[in-house]
Structure 1
Amino acid sequence: MRLFRLLPLLLTLLSPLAFADSNYQVELILFRQASTPLLASQPAPDDWAGDAQLPASGSERSTALNAEAAKLRPANGYEVLLHQAWQQSVGPNPVKIALSNGQEQFGQYPAEGTLSIKRESFVDISADFWVNQFDADGLVTASEHLKQSSRLKNGQPTYLDHGSLGILIKVTPL
């Protein structure tokens, strides 16, 4: 009988722990079909990163999806544009991370975008990436845009597809 009186108190004390931030390894591969030319479209906005933060200094991790990335080579019709892994604290409030790869030209990168990630019962992500092509003066002449959201299973690679662009992402609890 005492247990039933203590149960509400125990649930009240333990419920914040269920939604506390936890550490995860996040790994993302952004790739495109190599034979598909970049079509002229609306270029990425100048403030493509917005209020996103860079992965924390020292949070870089070794990539684990190397075998999958190796299959995404030009001989198979693909090109890896960005492959990065880092440790991230994830909780119920979305964290928005800015990622880029390549030589910056006037605030733009060949591959740039943001990844928002949060965890309640499941890990939910929203990816917003741009692939840019530059002219000799460093101005963006063509862009492709991938914007997708997904619910992930812990430790399972998830594929997001949008036209000639794709993302392979894996989020693993540490």
Structure 2
Amino acid sequence: MSKEEIKNKLIEELGVHFESEYDLPPLAARIFASLVLTEEDGLTFEDCINRRGASKSSISTSLNLLLQREFVKYFTKSGDRRRYFEIADKNIFFLKKLNRSLKHLEREGKILQKVAEYNAQFRPEKHFENTNKREVYTKCVSDMTTILKTTIEALEKQQK
């Protein structure tokens, strides 16, 4: 397989991942994947049309969605009227993703605690019945939270 074929296959796989991970429509997810893997200094609107083979209106709609969600940004080059699209905040992409995961786990831990307290007070047999499962799950959430915080701190130190 050629480099281009491998890249196209990876764009497709990454696109499917972005669809589910970020709730993106297929075309927007593929454009975002193309931006992640491009070796160029940004992609133009025309580049996106040529690479995705979609209509101008579909590409425009997808790029606008990615801009609104702050997944991408654009810049211009002196003497060139075209806009060049690139991933927004390339340097903190992983930090943002990890922080979203951390917030999700923290919410999970809080709601788990509230359910446990409710069951302890109003459904003691259910509380007792689920003790082992709850403790294992709570420990997992706690461990994952600790790992995420440690990783975020390490990445933040690299940013400085």
TM-score normalised per structure 1: 0.23
Relative contact order (C-alpha < 8 Å, sep 6+): which is higher? 1
TM-score normalised per structure 2: 0.24
Judging by fraction of residues, say which structure has more strand. 1
Larger radius of gyration: 2
